[in-house]
Amino acid sequence: MLKCGIVGGTGYTGVELLRLLARHPHAEVSLVTSRAEAGRPVTDLFPNLRGHLSLHFEKPDLDRLQDCDVVFFATPNGTAMKEVPALLEAGIKVVDLAADFRLKDPAVWEQWYGMPHACPELLQEAVYGLPELNREAISRARLVANPGCYPTATTLGLLPLLKHQLIDVEHIVADAKSGVSGAGRKAQVGSLLAEAAESFKAYAVPGHRHWPEIRQTLSQFIDAPVGLDFVPHLLPMIRGIHVTLYSYLTSDCDTLQAIYEEFYRDEPFVDVLPEGSHPETRSCKGANDCRIAVHRPRNGNTVIVLSVIDNLVKGAAGQAVQNMNLMAGFEERAGLDIVALTP
C-alpha cells in the first residue's frame, strides 16, 4: 500500500482527502498533522470517519513525513514551499493543494500572495496538476501543483474552444460562483450563516489570486497571451462551483457540441452534457466530476459554456488523489468512483 501523509488535516480539503483515501484500494493514510490538534483522535474532529480511520493528529515532523511515499499539503498558502525541498531531497513525492507552486514567475507569486517565494528554483519543475491537460507530465512528476477550484472549472470549460481556435482570445469573461466552503474552515464574519445565507455577492472584482493562474494556463496552452475578465461570487450554499464563460466566435461553427464531446471523449471525470443542457452544481456534489454544457444562443457569434464542479473534490482533494494515482501508476479512477449526492 502507498503510504500517504497529510500536512494540515483539519481543514475542509484535509477531511476530503481523508474521506477519499479511506476507501482507496492501493493507498492508506499513515500520518495526519495539525499543530493545534496534535494528540487528538481524527474522528473526534471528523465523526464521519469513525470506523474508517484510527489515527491521531500529530505535530509536523520532517522525519515522520519522510516515512511516507507521498505527502499532501492541505495548508495555507506559503507553508508548503518551506518544507517541500527537504521532502523532495528525501525522495518523497508531493502534491500541494495550496498555491505555492502554481505560478511559474516568482515575481508574479510575490505580487499576488504578498511574500517572496522560499524555493523559486522549484517553480519550473512543478507540474500543474490538471490531468486533462498534463497527464503524461504528472505521471513523471515528483512535485505537483494542484490547481485551484475556480481555475479547474474555468480551464476545462475553455480548452476545446482554444484548441480549435474558435474564439477571440482577447475577450473572455468568466462569471464564477462558489459555495462558502471555498473560503476554508476558519472563523470569519463573511462565512457566518447569518452573513452568507439568503444573500449573493461578487467579490475581488479588481483582482483575484486565481486570475493569474487561469491566465497562465490558458496562455501556455495556446502559446499566446489571453485576455480574461474573471469575477468570482459567493453563493449561499456549502459546496459547488458554477462558472459561466462568455466569448465571441471568430468563425461560423455549427459543431460546438461535437467538438466538446470529442475533446473529452476519453476523460473519466469530464462529462459533456447533451445539447441544450444546464448543469447543476448538485450533480457533482461529493464526486470528482466536472459537467459541461456549451451553448450558442440564437446561432449568433457568442459562445457560452457552463461548467460545474464540487470545489472540495474536483476543485481540490479529488483532483489531488487523481494526481496521486497518476504519479503512482494506479488506475486513474482508483478511490474516486463516486456517485454524486442528490438531493
The residue from 68, 119, 149, 284 that is catalytic is 149
Residue 161 to residues 187, 298, 309, Cα–Cα distance (Å)? 40, 19, 19
The residue to which cell 500529530 is assigned: 58
* Cell (9 digits) for 274: 447533451
| Concatenated DSSP letters of 133-194 | HHHHHHHH-SEEEPPPHHHHHHHHHHHHHHHTT-B-TT-EEEEEEE-GGGG-SS--GGGSHH
Known active-site residue 149: yes
| Calpha distance 317→174 (Å, rounded) | 23
In sequence order, what are the residues at sequence separation of 6 or more whose Cβ sits closer than 8 angstroms to the Cβ of residue 136? none
Residue 170 to residues 173, 212, 222, Cα–Cα distance (Å)? 10, 15, 12
| Calpha distance 55→6 (Å, rounded) | 12
β-bridge partners, 5:
31, 71
Residues noted as catalytic: 149
